[in-house]
Every structure is written in structure tokens, then in C-alpha cells.
Amino acid sequence: MNRLHIFSLLALVPYALALSAPAHSQNVLIRNARVHTMAAQGTLERADVLVRGGRVVEVGSGLAAAGATVIEANGRPLTPGLFGGITALGISEIEQESSTVDRAALVDSGTSGPGFVPRPEFDVTASFNADSAVIGVNRAEGITFAMIAPSASGTLFAGQGAVARLDGGDSPFVAASRTQFLDMGSSATDGVGFSRGAQFMLLEQATREALPGKPLQAGDMRLLTPTGREVLARYLAGGRMAFTVDRAVDIRQVLEFSARHGVKPVIVGGAQASQVASLLAGSKVPVVLEPLLALPGTFDQLGASMENAARLQRAGVPIMFTHFSAGTNQAHKARQGAGVAVAHGLPWDAALAALTSTPADVFGLSAEAGRIMPGSPADLVLWSSDPLEVTSIAEQVWIGGKAQSMRSRQTELRDRYRPTGLTGGPAVPAPRE
């Protein structure tokens, strides 16, 4: 039996593009795509997308552009680049090798003071490594932007994260996306008073220190450093704070704290969020959830259900997806999670929005980001088939109009160890100009 059958797939032009084109900004015309605009135009069949100067300039049919690289999509789906979720991309190469991990600031508290040092001023963007092989692997799976987030490891305040565009460039971070991360609930109690109540007590205490007009008296025990107070004060003036929390009662506490101090909260986790869905919907508080969660990993997650996404969406809560795993090497699995959420009742378009336009909106990217419309950054993915389907593959990724390399450390290994007799992959025709 000859199982070494070479597929005669339709011409996969993007392969050639990836191999031959350096990553400079191009004028690109993507023709005959199923375009999921995530904007007013909805989903367009057999549509064209014209990219110039790193942005989408036109979406329609029968478009032409002299000198543009033409990509024949043959009806395949084109989506905005996908959001990788709450990740450690670029700040953790190999989770179990601490010398490659920069997720947390664990500064020794010394012999006096509390048992932990909250450092809201810690900023993970300072150690972001755009060359990480982990980023290359995830980008080739269609992930073009992600929240790069610190982890608290029992210090209550994890510090500051921001959304990065994964184009390998020198200034990947979106300034408006800055977010302060806090780890609440059962997974954080060990280092923080051994009680959920103590977490909120310490949070209030730190907040009081940081608020203007609350001068500390000499001899007061301070939780924060002067820089920490300054940084936290910025977030208390209408900034965004992401709370990793699952339990309904703790979500209520977070919402009350946020209302009291004018903070824009984001719930990360939210296994029990659907129990307080109307509360979340009422104040449009978004939830970043793991759609594959069906079991209570902790007591805080009792009631976990794969219908969480559908229930929250029905109630009007903005949702986004993330994949929690050992490290974030598989951030791309959020796409599979989105498909699973659809199988469990979430409308398909809502699932794609949770990976594109919703995170762009929640984290303060431009109004056109996470969409395909005139003015959108040309962060695009051409898929082999249904972008939420596990058998689909990202054929080509563009960020800012630049065709990204579809090669990674994994494709190098794949090709080195290809079984004898396989010439591998689809035919590679030359790009059309």
C-alpha cells in the first residue's frame, strides 16, 4: 500500500510568499476570500481585501491594484489576526527552566515588613523577547496579538502587562493596553494572608496608600514602595485592572472594589462568572475565560461548564478566550477552545469576535483593530478552511501588511525528520505579481 501519497492541493501561493518574501511592508491584494470582517460588512463571500502601507484600505469585490502582490484565496476564509489570550509569550521560553522565565517579580521582603512585597510597578514589557521561538510557533498558528501578562505567585499584585503585536518589531506594545494584574481567590491565598478576605484587606490598604490626599504618617507600615504607589495611583485614575478570579462571590467583591475606585476591571478565569452574568453585563465587565474548562480544578471552580461562554454571551457580557496550560507555548489552543464553545452553544460569529474584535476593544486598541475594514491594521490570517476548525491550518499570516514567515523551530524539525519518500507539503508555485 502506498501511503506516501503527495497531495495535489490547490495552489497554495502563500507558502511561496513566505519562503521568498522578506518581511517588508507590501501592497497586497487578497482576492476571492471569505472575509470575516467582524465589522459592519459582516461576512463577505468571494471578496477582495486591499492592503497598502500596512493597513487595509478597501474591502469589496473586483478590486485591482497595480504592483500589488496578489494572493488568490480561492474562497478560503480570511480573518483578522487572532488574540492569543492572557499569555507569557516572550517572557517565558520554557516554563520549567527558571533562567528562561521572566513572569514574576519576587523581591525578597527582607526580615521586616509583610511576608510579601507587592510590586504593582513591575512591568513585564521590559523583558519581552520578540525573538522567542514560542512566539514564532504561535504566530504561524494565526496569533498576531496577545496580552503579555505577569503572574503573581502569591504577591497579590502581579504587576503590569500590555498587549503586544507579534510582528517581531522593536515596539510591539500598544500603550493604551496597559493593564495591572492581580491574582485573587484560592490560587493566591498562600502568600497573601491565607484568606480571601485578607487579599481584599491588603488591596484596600495598598489602594489607600496610593490614593492622593491620604498622606501616610511617620512610622506607618507601608505595603508599597514610592514607585509602587505612583504606578498604582495611575491605575486607580480610571485604569484597567485584570483580576484572576473564579468564584462568584469574589467577582462581586472585585466589581465593588472597581466601582468604588473607578477602575475598569477585567475578569480572568471566571469559572463561576455566569452566576453573576447580569451584574457583569450591566457594567459591561469583560471576562477572559478558558472555554475548555468543564471540571472544578479548585473549589472556586465548582459549577465549571463548557457552556460558560454561551451563557455569558447570551447575557451580554463581553467575552474573550485564553488557554491555560503549563506555560503558554500553546496559546494558539484558544482557537480550538473557541470552536468547542460553538459546539456548546456559542454563536460562531461571537466565538470569532472573542478572538478578534472584543480583545481589541477591551484592551484599547484602535477602533478598526481586530476587524477587516478600511483603516484596520493589516493583521490578517488566510485559513485553509473554517478558522475555528481543528483540522484547519493558517496558510499565511500578515501583521501590518507584512507577510510573516510561516516557518518556525517546529517546521524546521518537521522537515529535518520528514519520513523518507515524502517530498513534503503542497506544490509551491511562484507568487503572482
Partner 1 sequence: MSWKQLGGATLAFFVWSVQASAEPYPSTYQAQSSAPVLIRNATVLDGTGRRLDGADVLIRDGKIVEVGTALLPGDATTIDANGRWVTPGLIDVHSHLGVYASPGVNATQDGNEMTDPVTAGVWAEHSVWPQDPGFATALAGGVTTIHILPGSGNLIGGRGVTLRNVPAATYQAMKFPGAAHGLKMACGENPKRVYGERTQAPSTRMGNVAGYRQAFADAEDYQHQWQKYEAEIAAYDRKKAKDRDPAERPVPPKRDLRLETLVAAMQGQVQVQVHCYRADEMAVMLDLAREFHFKIAAFHHGVEAYKIADRLAQEGVCGALWADWWGFKLEAYDGIWENLAYVDAPKDGCAIVHSDSDEGIQRLNQEAAKAMSRGQRAGLDIPPERAIRWITSNAAKALGLAGRVGTLEPGKMADVVVWNRDPFSVYALPDLVYIDGALAYDRNHPPATPRSDFLLGQPGAAR
List contacts with partner 1 (CB under 8 A): 2-7, 93-97, 133-134, 137, 248, 272, 275, 292-299, 301-305, 307, 325-327, 329-330, 333, 336, 339-340, 342-343, 388-393, 410, 413-414, 417-419, 422-426
Least distance in Å: CB of 343 to partner 1?
5
Least distance in Å: CB of 389 to partner 1?
5
Where residue 425 falls (left for φ over 0; alpha for ψ -120 to 50; beta otherwise) is left
Give the Cβ contact number of residue 299 at 10 Å: 10
Angle between helices 308-315 and 348-355 (to 10 degrees): 90
Burial group, residue 423, by CB count within 10 angstroms (0-12, 13-18, 19+): exposed
CB of 24 closer than 8 Å to CB of 3: no
- The residue count of the chain comes to 433
Residue whose CB is less far from partner 1, 7 or 40: 7
Least distance in Å: CB of 6 to partner 1?
5
Residue whose CB is less far from partner 1, 58 or 95: 95
Least distance in Å: CB of 379 to partner 1?
23
Least distance in Å: CB of 127 to partner 1?
18
Residue whose CB is less far from partner 1, 13 or 378: 13
Comparing CA positions, the residue from 54, 107, 45 lying closest to residue 76 is 45
Residue whose CB is less far from partner 1, 89 or 156: 89
Phi, psi values for residue 390, rounded to 5°: -65, -25
Residue whose CB is less far from partner 1, 232 or 394: 394
d(CA 199, CA 188): 8
Residue whose CB is less far from partner 1, 257 or 383: 383
Least distance in Å: CB of 412 to partner 1?
9
**Beta carbons within 8 Å of 219's beta carbon, 6+ residues apart:** none
Residue 231's SS3 state is: helix
